[in-house]
A and B are shown apart, each in its own frame.
Chain A
């Protein structure tokens, strides 16, 4: 099955700086890579996703890059704000038809220091 590794497990940045979280996956058939944000005591919520036919996707201050050859993808948050503090999870799936099973990384706790 798929194995997703995520680093770092914790990350502290100064407000305004950038944050980068990296994930690797093992199954070359995976083609859908979402990122979820989980605030303290809340449910995970999708913030951005990318499919394997795209190398980069951007949505305001967040961007995701994908390197299919190396089987890794990254989340980039620019101009971080205190409200970005949360746990972020990457995930991978084959993502087609009924194959919606998401395999999650172990999470990165991001702290943005005001």
Chain B
């Protein structure tokens, strides 16, 4: 089944304790992205990657890191989490090339993170 998976789905942690949220897709998509969703603010892009070893900042990258060592995986790293990073996080992927429907982004199930 074609899908985007994220782990963990729920995480409660404390300020300053490094964490990683994994994201994996099995659709051979080139483009992957991380968003955070906060009430009243919609979905805001954190980082994106257009291919292996190619990553770039989105709208709200502060406090986050990413890596793209393999095409299928795009982990999100919080080196020193703070309470303002409490949010719902979504990973997404798309084919990434031109053409109809190639821009459709497929979202993972989300990770709800609470930083105390």
Chain A contacts to B: CB under 8 angstroms: 1, 6, 9, 32, 34, 42-46, 49, 51, 89, 93, 95-98, 100-107
Contacts and interface: CB of A to CB of B under 8 A. Distances in A.
B105 A100 contact: yes
Q: Is the interface of A mostly helix, strand, loop or mixed?
A: loop
B90 A46 contact: no
Given A101-B33, A104-B42, A107-B42, A32 B96 contact: no
Contacts, number: 63
B44 A98 contact: no
A9 to B, nearest CB: 8
B61 interface: no
Contacts of A34: 103-105
B45 A101 contact: yes
A71 B22 CA distance: 37
A98 B50 contact: yes
B9 to A, nearest CB: 11
Contact of B96 (A100, A102, A103): A100
Contacts of B59: 1, 103
Interface residues of B, number: 29
20 contacts: A32-B103, A34-B103, A34-B105, A42-B109, A43-B108, A43-B110, A45-B107, A46-B105, A89-B42, A97-B98, A100-B31, A100-B96, A100-B103, A101-B45, A101-B48, A102-B43, A102-B45, A102-B105, A104-B42, A106-B40
Contacts of A100: 31, 33, 48, 50, 94, 96, 103, 105
A95 B99 CA distance: 9
Interface string B75-116: 000000000000000100010111011011101111000000
